[in-house]
Structure formats: structure tokens, C-alpha cells
Amino acid sequence: MTSLEAGKPTPGPSFNMMDRHSLRVQENLWAESLRMASIVEATFALSIRALCDGHPELASEIKEHEKDIDRLEVAIERECLRVLALYEPVAFDLRRVLTILRINRDLERVGDLAARIAKRVKRMVKDARPIPISEPLEALATGAANSFHDALDALVRSDAEAARAVLSRDRQIDKHRRTVLKALKASLVNEPDRVDVWLRLMNIARNLERVGDHAVHIAESVVYLKEGRLIRHAEGLREA
């Protein structure tokens, strides 16, 4: 045996125990990230309900969820950094921790956007007339909600093909937003006395589109998790 070989630690129970502990910590981190995703999806669904079904009173509940989401985001980021420093994961384990870090911010931002939507709905009900929720705006809300749900479903299943399907539908959400904004601009000209309502609806439309953007980011992260490929700037993935 050489002197170098003599100085090398011999794998044994302690090493296996360390590996098992590392795996358990990473599994718990993954589970916590998915729990956050579930809370965010439920919060966004509440904001859609507040908008489309006329329930501004949900704003308070959404605000409480947002606080929980903010706390989770910080805790998950700290745990990711701790795992990277202590266990130095490699291969798929490393990709999974990096994926959690990447989507953590997207999830927190969707929680913020849900709260903003509900806040604007709450302010709009002060107008004596009904809130004009058009079919294109409902279509935009539904499209954003579906994309976000499908991106999270792809994440849970680590399904790269399902993630690509989310990417392929992204331009449809952009199209819905353009249709909504065109109609709202016309309403602004025709009914300038309701300028606050039209501007808030425009802001809601932008926020809904941003949720779609975050769904795309999550879907891209799923492809990275499964295949180790960064596709943020890849061409030809999204259909016109």
C-alpha cells in the first residue's frame, strides 16, 4: 500500500450515514419547495376568483398567504445554500438544488402578483358601476392559471415534455394580453370618466401575463432538472 493510499479514508458506515443524511435533507428541501408551489398556486387561484367572480373580500386572505410565501422563500433559499455548502451535491442532486433556487424566486413573485391583482380588484369595487370583466380578460386569466398549473405539474413529475408544452403555449397568453389591452384602450377613449378602472384592469392584464412568464421560467427549469440543458435562449421551442 502506498503512503497516499494509506492516508485515504476507507468508506464505511459513517460515509453511508452521511450520504443518507444528505439525501434526506435534500428530499425534505424538495418537499418544502413543492409545498410552497402548492400554496402559491392556491393563492393565485384566489386572486382569479376575486377578479372573475367578484370577490374582493378575498384580498385579506391572499395577503396572509403572501406573508407565508415570503417566509418560505427566505427559508428555502437559506436551506439551498446550506445544502450546497455542507454536502456539495453533484449530478442530478446538484441540478435539483439549483432548480429549487431558480424556481423559488418565480414562486415568490407569483405570490406577489396574486396579491397585486386582488388589491386592484378591491379598489375597483369602490366604483358604483359593475366591474367590466370582459371575455378576453377572463381568457387571459384562465390561460395564465392553466400555464402555471401545468408548469407546476411538470415540476412535480420532472416531466420535460410537459414543460415544453407550457413553453409552446406562451405566445397565446401574449396574444390574449394584446387583445385585452386593445379593448381597454378603446374603453378609455369611450368612457374617460372611468379612467381608474381601465388603468387598473390594464395593470391586472400585465400581472396576469407576468404569471405566464414565470410559468415559462419554471418550465425551463424543469427541462434543466431533467436533461441538464439550459434553454432560456434556445430557439424553436415556442410555436407562433
- What φ, ψ does residue 232 adopt, rounded to 5°? -55, -35
Q: Which domains does the chain have, with CATH numbers?
A: 20-227 (1.20.58.220)
Provide the 3-class DSSP secondary structure of residue 133: coil
Per-residue pLDDT at 8 = 38
Which mean pLDDT values do the consecutive 10-residue runs of the chain (240 residues) have? Answer: 38 59 93 98 97 90 95 98 94 96 98 96 82 91 97 97 94 94 94 92 97 97 94 51
Per-residue pLDDT at 121 = 92
Cβ pair 209, 113 in contact under 8 A: no
Per-residue pLDDT at 231 = 84
Angle, CA of 108, 112 and 116, to the nearest 5°: 170
C-alpha cell at 122: 378591491
Per-residue pLDDT at 13 = 47
CB neighbour list of residue 174: distance below 8 Å, 6 or more residues apart: 209, 212
